[in-house]
Chains A and B, each alone.
Chain A
Amino acid sequence: MHHRYDVLVVGAGGAGLMAALYAAKGNVSVACISKLYPTRSHTGAAQGGIGAALGNVQEDHWEWHMFDTVKGGDYLTDQDAAEVFAKDIIDAVYELEHMGLPFSRTPDGKIAQRKFGGHTRDFGKAAVERSCYAKDRTGHMILQTLYQQNVKAGTTFYNEFHVTDLLIEDGRCRGVVAYELSTGELHTFHAKAVILAAGGYGRAFKITSNALTLTGDLMSIYYRKGLPLEDMEFYQFHPTGLAKLGILVTEGIRGEGGILRNDSGERFMERYAPTIKDLAPRDIVSRSIITEIREGRGVGRDKDAVNIDLTHLPREVIEGKLAEITDLARTYLGMDPVKDLVPIQPTAHYAMGGIPTDLNGLCLSDGNGGSVEGLYAAGEQACVSLHGANRLGTNSLGDLVVFGRRAGIYAAQYARQVEFADMPENPERESVDLFDRLRASNGKDNAASIRKELQESMMNNVGIFRNGPDMAKQVGIVQELKARYANVGVSDPSRRYNSELIEAMELGFMLDCAEAMTASALNRTESRGAHDREDFTTRDDENWLKHTMAYKDLNREGQVQIGYKPVSLKGFTRAFEPKPRVY
């Protein structure tokens, strides 16, 4: 089946829904494709808040937020992106409120704000209340509110459609091919502009806060075209996932005063970040937790967790402002944060890297200013790069509203100026080949066992602490898994709702993301932000203050070529010199 829209959005999480809304305001026809139903996207799992310098609780300024974002990103953050972001997010949060988002409130009726890791006043002096929240279900409320607004705007949705190919010819995107789960049919979508906003690939790891559906589909499809993925070595492990399960426990618990404790009850963060302690950025807290565990001060049966202590907080705060995580602890661990210490461990959470874009969301094709005409990206899948080497808590929700909005505006503006480019001849060819290969293969390995090996090996070899030999080993493991994947068995021949086929396809996407990530990480011989190497322990600005651009070698299977892109070290009006990163 063939469809035609001026602007096509892929993904219906926060970034996609914001992009769709703004594209529609630009007087162009818009449709949104999602592999889920819209309100199922993982934006809904974000809990703690969206950071903006509203100053509702304490004095705050966008310059402070910009500084924190740049320092949090260990100076790999592009400062022009950080400046645009820190200014725009203030207005964007008010806009969400005007869309009806039910924020929690201050006693004087303004949007409530609380402290969050790495967010400080006066350029690092002390923690500041910057995170605007709706209890501890802020992402859920953003997702619901943006979907509601799209219902109001009459956006067309194609639910449970899996994008299988991007149609790019002569440097211009012409549309996408998608697989309809309910029928097994391929659809072609002809578009003047396409916006990619389909999320991350956290399922490449064993312990993860990510949904089963987060398999890096569009990053992989982009990469398969020989186009670059930026900064894939920077992957965030959230310090507090429920032990063994990886389910996210919001940083908001530390913002509200929760304390991390080791087996002897010591508040160990005092040793690692004397100024802001438990509210240090996530990379630092995750490393501190793993160090405690490695040195034998962990808790639990396998001594592989530490505790988060809320017991000194009033019951109303725990059951009110932190209702979501209280429910999670009670449901999954049978523990009550009102009186029990809750065991947590770091969990794979967020890709700082992804599809490179400029400030308007336009996808970049190299590190020298080349771009793909008509193709935009936003949200976790994109790398603008706001988060640099480590994202601050709350800046993901901010990223998707600010840069989702910009992608929508600029995609619509572009679509108004151009005619439809011709579709390639036989646009479905590569997608048909992909499915034919999967359906025809009859290997003994099933997708689940390959996936499990991928998840365990990525966790062990490209996790929180890294070193050359382990990552070199992982390069080989991913190559071997890819070889086995080439022959993966799909036994269900049905056309309707064939989720086995889809899971096998998604594994292929995830293997690509793992390949690019491992190669990028092995290549970067320094420690910066979330990329922490035991064999190169310090930050090396002289050689490595640059973005990685990883390209799939289209002639040699399993090989990755690395290029670079300069970091924007200046904003439009402010610039922050790289300095040692202490908290």
Chain B
Amino acid sequence: MTQTHAPTSAAPVSASVPMIQLKVKVLRFDPEKDKKAHWTTYDVEAQASDRVLDVINHIKWYMEPSLTFRRSCMHGICGSDAMLINGRNRLACKTLVRDVAKSGGTITVEPIRGLKVEKDLLVDMEPFFDSYKAIMPYFINESPAPAAERIQSEEEAERMAHSSNCILCACCTTSCPIFWVNGSYLGPAAIVQAHRFIFDTRDEATQQRLGIMNQNTGVWRCRTAYNCTEACPRDIPITQLIEEVKRAVMYGQA
């Protein structure tokens, strides 16, 4: 089914800024009403510098109030609005219209893959967070803490720079072909989180963590497809981090 709506404008009115015409094709699904997902197209006017999330918000606020998706911070730090935009996993608030469409062009928006669609673009995140919780995602050091901070060198701290940057948006895990066919695979996001603790010189649970990574749901499932690295909105070199974890498992040390 394709519905077309009259064009309206997503951008604040400003005479001097050129507006472009867009078709926004959204894969919609309400399990209470629909047997299967269907495309609906909305004609929208926007600025090239608008975020895709601005456009989707506009559709919700002024054209189709029932359109359902998650969003919060609007600038790529909360990780709520991962979506498949023009066939690639991205954060809708960190993708500008000009990055994905020209005037007269079409933007397609679908839910991220591999997690159950609850409604429209909103998926069940519980399995994703279950994998996260399975890797012991917390610092472990049971030795008595000093009165002040534990000492760590600048170089040691820098080893966590990439992995601690993760916002748990699920762009990586839901772009992974192994995860699509085998949901028991912990997935790249959980491995990135494990990396953050495995390579923390202050953490004392390295062996336990490597053990979890060595299980058949762990790091060896990765076939280095690089989809995760390409999908990450924080530019985390995920495949490289997974390789570092594989090496640590192999040598039994970080």
Contacts and interface: CB of A to CB of B under 8 A. Distances in A.
Interface of A: 36-37, 39-42, 44-45, 54, 94, 97-100, 102-111, 134-135, 137, 140-141, 144-145, 148-149, 151-152, 182, 211-213, 245, 247-248, 301, 324, 327-328, 331-332, 446-449, 490-492, 494, 496-500
The 8 closest A-B pairs by CB, nearest first: A100-B139, A448-B61, A109-B151, A148-B138, A152-B138, A492-B66, A500-B65, A40-B78
A448 B65 CA distance: 10
B119 interface: yes
10 contacts: A40-B78, A100-B139, A105-B153, A109-B153, A110-B151, A151-B138, A211-B73, A248-B75, A332-B51, A499-B69
Contact of B119 (A37, A103, A144, A496): A496
B95 to A, nearest CB: 9
Contacts of A182: 118
Given A37-B125, A42-B73, A151-B138, A107 B78 contact: no
Interface string B141-185: 100010111111110110011001101100000000000000000
Contacts of A42: 72-73, 78
B16 A148 contact: no
A487 to B, nearest CB: 16
A446 B65 contact: yes
Contacts of B78: 36, 39-42, 44-45, 211
Contact of A211 (B72, B149, B164): B72
B203 interface: yes
Contacts of A448: 61-62
Contacts of B141: 98, 100
A324 B154 CA distance: 19
B202 A328 contact: no
A510 to B, nearest CB: 15
Nearest to B73: A211
Contacts of A449: 62
A40 B168 CA distance: 9
B22 interface: no
Contacts of A135: 161
B167 A44 contact: yes
Interface string B64-96: 011011011111111110000000000000101
Nearest to B132: A151
A110 B139 contact: no
B65 A111 contact: no
Given A148-B139, A149-B138, A496 B153 contact: no
Contacts of A499: 60, 68-69
B102 interface: no
B133 interface: yes
Given A100-B138, A100-B139, A100-B202, A212 B157 contact: no
B30 A212 contact: no
Nearest to B235: A327
Contacts of B62: 446, 448-449
Given A94-B149, A145-B139, A491-B66, 4 more contacts: A148-B139, A332-B49, A496-B118, A500-B65
A102 B77 contact: no
A245 B125 CA distance: 29
Interface size class of B (residues with CB under 8 A): 35 or more
Majority SS of interface residues in chain B?
Answer: loop
Nearest to A134: B164
B238 interface: no
Contacts of B203: 100
B3 to A, nearest CB: 15
B80 A40 contact: yes
B45 interface: no
Contacts of B80: 36-37, 40
A98 B65 contact: no
A203 to B, nearest CB: 10
B161 to A, nearest CB: 7
A44 B94 contact: no
A448 B58 CA distance: 9
B7 interface: no
Given A40-B78, A109-B153, A148-B137, A497 B68 contact: yes
A318 to B, nearest CB: 15
B138 A40 contact: no
A9 to B, nearest CB: 18
Given A135-B161, A212-B74, A97 B149 contact: yes
Contacts of A332: 49, 51, 75, 96
A100 B197 CA distance: 9
Contacts of B161: 135
B133 A151 contact: yes
B137 A211 contact: no
A277 B182 CA distance: 58
A44 B73 CA distance: 9
Contacts of A109: 151-154
A149 B147 CA distance: 20
Contacts of A494: 30, 32, 66
A484 to B, nearest CB: 16
Given A104-B157, A331-B94, A332-B96, A99 B139 contact: yes
B200 interface: yes
Given A448-B61, A496-B118, A137 B74 contact: no
Contacts of A245: 75
B249 interface: no
A277 B73 CA distance: 31
A103 B129 contact: no
Contacts of B129: 37
A327 B236 CA distance: 13
B55 interface: no
Contacts of A137: 77, 165
A455 to B, nearest CB: 11
Contacts of B16: 301
B122 interface: yes
Nearest to A245: B75
Contacts of B156: 105
Nearest to B122: A497
A141 B156 CA distance: 17
Nearest to A36: B72
Nearest to A160: B70
Nearest to A500: B65
A94 B200 contact: no
A347 B12 CA distance: 17
